[in-house]
Amino acid sequence: MLLFFKSLPRLVHSANKDMHRHFLMTFSSIVSIGIALLMALFIFVIYMNVGGFTSQIESEFMIQVSLNPTLEDEEISELSDSISSLASVKKVTYSSKEEELDALIKENGAMFKQYKGEDKNPLYDVLNVELKDNTKISKVTKKISKMDGVVQATYGGSAINTMIQLFKNIRVWGSVFVGLMVLIAVFLIRNTIKMTILVRKDEIAIMRTVGAYNWYISLPFVLEGIFIGFWGALGPVLICIFGYTGLYHVMNGMFFSDMMSMLKPYPFVLCTSGGILLIGMVVGMLGSYLAVRKYLRWTR
């Protein structure tokens, strides 16, 4: 262990020398890992920012059943029970029209306060129906709206559906693309390290004969991989730190409308940058590990 720390400068130096030796290979590895991480960064930033938005929408995946004002309490609970007994219904909660109005005021501001008071409230008492499976939402809504005492049964509608589907697609295909780029990066790094190993073959043979430990021989290559990952991640990290912060200020902290507010740059930017650096270095290490395992394996 002591030997490890004592020889670390020497090993780092050796790794650096090797990176200069195959500058083009090293450079292309750095670029490919950089592109992969940049894509990952964009997708992650969008995902994180949209994440809050979608969960907001998903909570609206609820059927709102407006009740005929003439219904007695008993009839309401009967209706509630019969909705509960439908398959795929999870929960039914009652909310009076006063509660609905309070919620409306809370969400959209004081201008709705004018409806407060006896006989001014234009809203209905409602039953909020949550589903076990959101894909059945239109069927269940149809069924409920045919029940007695129901004025109207509504849900967010198809616009929300397509939006969520779109975000999901971005997420899925983006992840697939990032995964592919990472794979390419690993492969390129593996080849870079392989070239270095081949060039240093004689040196390695001599190291073996004079009794260098295996880790001493292979560590510079692993370090080289980590450095490549680090340099590759540096670009995306800078873009993340300055780009996101700048964007946040330019857009005044929101996308298009205040319905989609952006996450505050700090600490989000720092955490993301740290994550990207880490991923880059891990990917670099993985690539070099694969090369070392294949080309430096020593058996007898």
CA torsion sign for 245, 246, 247, 252 is positive
Q: What sign has the CA pseudo-torsion 159, 165, 169, 171?
A: positive
Verify binding: residue 213, other proteins, rule CB under 8 A.
yes
| Amino acid identity for residue 109 in this structure | G
Placement of tokens 């509608």 in the chain: 157
Interface with other proteins by CB under 8 A: which range of 92-100, 125-133, 202-210, 250-258?
A: 202-210
The yes or no reply on residue 205 touching other proteins (CB under 8 A) is yes
Distance of closest approach, residue 298 Cβ to other proteins, in angstroms: 8
Whether residue 267 is preceded by a cis peptide bond, meaning omega within 30 degrees of 0, is yes
Residue (7 or 161) nearer to other proteins, CB: 7
Q: Nearer Cβ to other proteins, position 184 or 207?
A: 207
Q: CB of 210: closest distance to other proteins in angstroms?
A: 4
Question: Cβ–Cβ contacts within 10 Å for residue 95, how many?
Answer: 16
Contact call for residues 232 and 281 (beta carbons, < 8 A): no
Residue placing its CB nearer to other proteins in the complex, 120 or 297: 297
* 231-250: contacts with other proteins (CB under 8 A): none
Contact window for other proteins (CB under 8 A) among 182-190, 213-221, 232-240, 251-259: 213-221
Q: Could you tell me which stretch among 2-10, 145-153, 226-234, 241-249 binds other proteins (CB under 8 A)? A: 2-10
Q: How far is the CB of 29 from other proteins (least distance, A)?
A: 24
* Under rule CB under 8 A, residue 201 binds other proteins: no
Among 91, 142, 208, 249, binds other proteins (CB under 8 A): 208
Least Å from the CB of residue 255 to other proteins: 56
Of 120, 6, 113, 137, nearest to 63 by C-alpha is 137
Task: Tell me if 216 contacts other proteins by CB under 8 A.
Answer: yes
Segment near other proteins (CB under 8 A), from 5-13, 68-76, 171-179, 234-242? 5-13
Question: Nearest CA to 42 among 251, 284, 244, 277?
Answer: 244
Q: Are 15 and 221 in contact, with CB atoms under 8 Å apart?
A: yes
Residues 89, 130: contact at Cβ < 8 Å? yes
Residue 65 is which amino acid? V
Q: Rule CB under 8 A: choose which of 72, 73, 107, 202 binds other proteins.
A: 202
Task: Answer for the pair 239, 41: CB distance below 8 angstroms, yes or no.
Answer: yes
| Residue 126, token pair as written in the block | 């409602």
List interacting residues with other proteins (CB under 8 A): 3, 6-7, 10, 202-203, 205-214, 216-217, 299-300
